[in-house]
Amino acid sequence: MGKLFGTDGIRGIVGENLTVELAFHVGQAVAAVLTEEKGSKPTITIGKDTRISSDMLEAALMAGICSVGGDVMPLGTIPTPAVAYLARQEGADAGIVLSASHNPYEHNGIKVFNARGYKLSDESEARVEELILSGAPMDVKTHGDIGKRLHGMRQMKRDTSKELDDYRAIFRILILTIAPIILSTTIYNSANVIDSAMFNKIMGAQGTSEAVCAELLGKLGQYYTLFNVPLAVASALGSSVIPGLVSAAENHDRRLLHNRIYTVIRYTMLIAIPSAFGFFALGQPIMDFLWPNVDNVTQGIMLKIGAISLVFYSLSTVTNTVLQGLDRMMEPVKNAMVSLILHIVSLFIMLVMFKWGIYALIGSKIVFSLCMCIMNAHDIREACGYLQESRKTFVIPSIAGAVMAILAWAVHFVLDTFIGGRIATLIALIVAVAVYAVVLLKMGGMSEKELLGLPKGHQIVIVCKKCHLLKERRYY
């Protein structure tokens, strides 16, 4: 990582470490590097978000670019992905976006895309940094060589003769991309249909009435309702990382690629592992909290048994999206097919030989999700040589989750004895969150730098330091 560029461009507090002068020099350096690489005058698109500092920084960037002979096409207030798309669509040589994502309003950032809409290469970034930090005089233009501001979108007015071919290509790409995702999702969902059919048939043959089977499957539905909440977080995290994976893979940036995979898997586990421990320790109390007028003993046992599968399902979900981001679209489909076959075999054994009843459906899902995790991890390693770090991803969250579960159970046990009702569960859950956060931070599960990257990260760090949960460190 350079002195200016981080993993997501140049970021800082406007007026402190991100100044108008720096933005001006960035504009000059980017245009100068593009001129060196292209051998002629470059065209650069600029987009921005709604931060109060964006207009000022945009003006400085435009002045810097034009001063060394580059042309600028301002796009106005526009989402970051649209800048990357329009840089390619408009035939520009680069695109610059002014945004700092979720960081507070006093922050801003400068992110540069290449002509293909991907992150600027490490070599180009290094050259830009060199020009800025060296303080060497730029080749400032005069007279008619000064760059100008372009108005409107040029590319959309051209190439209309190829429009039909473009639509055919887009349709073909969509089919090749969407079909494997639909197949994988279909296989996942078909497991539930197969489970219900096998359960009804086998349990009926063992003498269980249809009414009892329907009641047990209804209880299973309640279990899935709660189970799917943390699983939805894993799905969202996985989807958010795909653009970054595609960009890193396209630029052959293995270090950035591994960093993206590491981050999304680790953050998923930071949520899934404590959720699993929480389900194990407080499964029935949580069910009683949500459905107070229902006998939740069976659902509570389901949560205890299926807690581990929450970790496996979350991991398999996020690794599915990683493989899709690596353009290994069919691997999740193949893995899901193999896992489904093993799932059906294990379900049959658990229902017929072990006679586990409704709990067999939970056990067979553990087999399915574990198989998916193992095969997905193998395919990711084959695709890009990545192997997940274990200490901060699995070990520390597991220890913190175990401590959390024990203390949360003890608090609930005491409060339920004297108070009872929902209030005992609510207090136990609040204690669980606090204990997990404290133990995680004390064990080094998250660094100050990682906390700063979270929404409201600065406020979180201040609170943690006041509570002596973080060591005083400086990051550059």
Active site residues: 101
Q: Using DSSP, how many helices (H) and how many strands (E) does the chain show?
A: 14, 5
| Strands laid side by side in the 10-13 sheet | 10-13, 107-114, 94-98, 43-48, 71-77
Question: Do 102 and 455 contact (CB within 8 A), yes or no?
Answer: yes
- Reported as half-sphere exposure (CB side, CA atoms, 13 A), residue 263 has a value of 19
Quick one: DSSP state of residue 258?
A: H
Alpha helical stretches, state H, 206-253: 210-250
Furthest C-alpha separation in the chain: 94
Sign of the alpha-carbon torsion through 85, 89, 90, 91: positive
Question: Do 39 and 53 contact (CB within 8 A), yes or no?
Answer: no
Cα angle 357-362-368, degrees, rounded to a multiple of 5? 125
Which of 16, 6, 8 has its CA nearest to residue 100? 8
- Reported as half-sphere exposure (CB side, CA atoms, 13 A), residue 336 has a value of 23
Helix (H) or strand (E) holding 74: strand 71-77
What's the token pair of residue 380? 């990711």
User: 176-201: string of b/e by CB count within 10 Å (b at 16+)?
Assistant: eeeebeebbeebbeebeeebeebbbe
What's the token pair of residue 278? 């929480």
Residues contacting residue 137 through CB under 8 Å, at least 6 positions apart: none
Which of 362, 214, 205 has its CA nearest to residue 283? 362
**What single letter denotes the amino acid at residue 396?**
I
Distance CA 192, CA 179 (A): 21
Distance CA 72, CA 198 (A): 64
